[in-house]
Amino acid sequence: MRKPIIAGNWKMNKTPKETKQLLEELKPLVKGAKPTVVVCVPAVDIQAAVRATKGTAIKVGAQNVHFKESGAYTGELSAQMLVECGVKYVIIGHSERRQYFGETDQTVNLRALAAVRAGLTPIICVGEKKEEREAGYTNALVTYQTLIALEGMSESEVKSCVIAYEPVWAIGTGLTATDEQANETIGVIRSAIAAKYGKRIGNAIRIQYGGSMNPKNVKGLMAQPHIDGGLIGGASLKAEDFAKVVNYED
């Protein structure tokens, strides 16, 4: 019922030239793929990515967006700027933004609202740290992060968002949540959305897992009923690996 969505998060990797190379390699490998395929590239690579993916089903995403339309916000990009460049998706509230750049649940909410209202699909990241899981706070924390991020949106705006559940301890560490752990926490997120916005929205919204997802573990994770896709860091930097994740059913 929910179309799977596999998104690459390139983080601070690849120059425009390398972007073109990687995407030229990727294109034939993911042609006709069942999931929605997105590559979230550094801002300076957007133009190269849009050009290289023209006429394909691959969508281009950004890795952040500011909440104001314009103004004195050095280093930031507005939603309209991204839209005009051909961007369709944008990652918001990645744990690296929260950890290193002071992103809070409130700024995540503002950015998500600006994105959705400009017609971009936000990929909103939530997830607990290791010590938070060990202390038993995972469910409360991801519920809070998710509901705050969506605050002020209409039901149809909520439905159009993608949530990425990324346990912080699994990002870039090679540690993956077990299939059951990931499914259980994503189920909690889905229930929280259903409780606030109604069952229909809860059933319709796409929720990804992220954190060391790779060609080896993708199948097990994707077999879980609540998991609708993946946000892929390391394994999205090689066309062959990313294509294997995208084509997990083959």
Residues annotated as part of the active site: 94, 166
Looking at residue 145, its amino acid is Q
240, 16 in Cβ contact below 8 A? no
Q: Decide: is 217 part of the binding site for ligand PGA (CB under 6 A).
A: no
Q: Decide: is 211 part of the binding site for ligand PGA (CB under 6 A).
A: yes
Q: How far is the CB of 166 from ligand PGA (least distance, A)?
A: 6
Q: What is the 3 state secondary structure string of 131-164?
A: HHHHCCCHHHHHHHHHHHHHCCCCHHHHHHCEEE
Give the residue with the Cβ less far from ligand PGA, 163 or 231. 231
Query: Considering only residues 127, 210, 215, 229, which one is a binding residue for ligand PGA as defined by CB under 6 A?
Result: 210
Q: Decide: is 234 part of the binding site for ligand PGA (CB under 6 A).
A: yes
Give the residue with the Cβ less far from ligand PGA, 26 or 201. 26
125, 170 in Cβ contact below 8 A? no
Q: Which stretch binds ligand PGA (CB under 6 A): 21-29, 79-87, 192-200, 211-219?
A: 211-219
**135/148 Cα distance (integer angstroms):** 22
Number of helices (H), then strands (E), belonging to the chain: the values are: 12, 8
DSSP 90: E
Give the residue with the Cβ less far from ligand PGA, 171 or 207. 171
Q: How far is the CB of 173 from ligand PGA (least distance, A)?
A: 7
Nearby residues of 226 by Cβ (< 8 Å), 6 or more positions away: 183, 186, 187, 190, 207
Query: Considering only residues 231, 243, 245, 246, which one is a binding residue for ligand PGA as defined by CB under 6 A?
Result: 231
Q: Decide: is 61 part of the binding site for ligand PGA (CB under 6 A).
A: no
Q: Decide: is 35 part of the binding site for ligand PGA (CB under 6 A).
A: no
Q: Which stretch binds ligand PGA (CB under 6 A): 104-112, 150-158, 231-239, 240-248?
A: 231-239
Residue keyed to tokens 């500011």: 66
Q: Which two tokens stand for residue 82?
A: 């991204």
Give the residue with the Cβ less far from ligand PGA, 60 or 171. 171
What SS3 state is found at 111? helix
| β-bridge pairing 121-126 and 162-165 | parallel
**229/34 Cα distance (integer angstroms):** 11
Q: Decide: is 63 part of the binding site for ligand PGA (CB under 6 A).
A: no
- Interface residues for ligand PGA in 171-200 (CB under 6 A)? 171-172
In the bound state, the residue with its beta carbon closest to ligand PGA is: 233
List residues near ligand PGA by CB under 6 A: 9, 166, 171-172, 210-213, 231-235
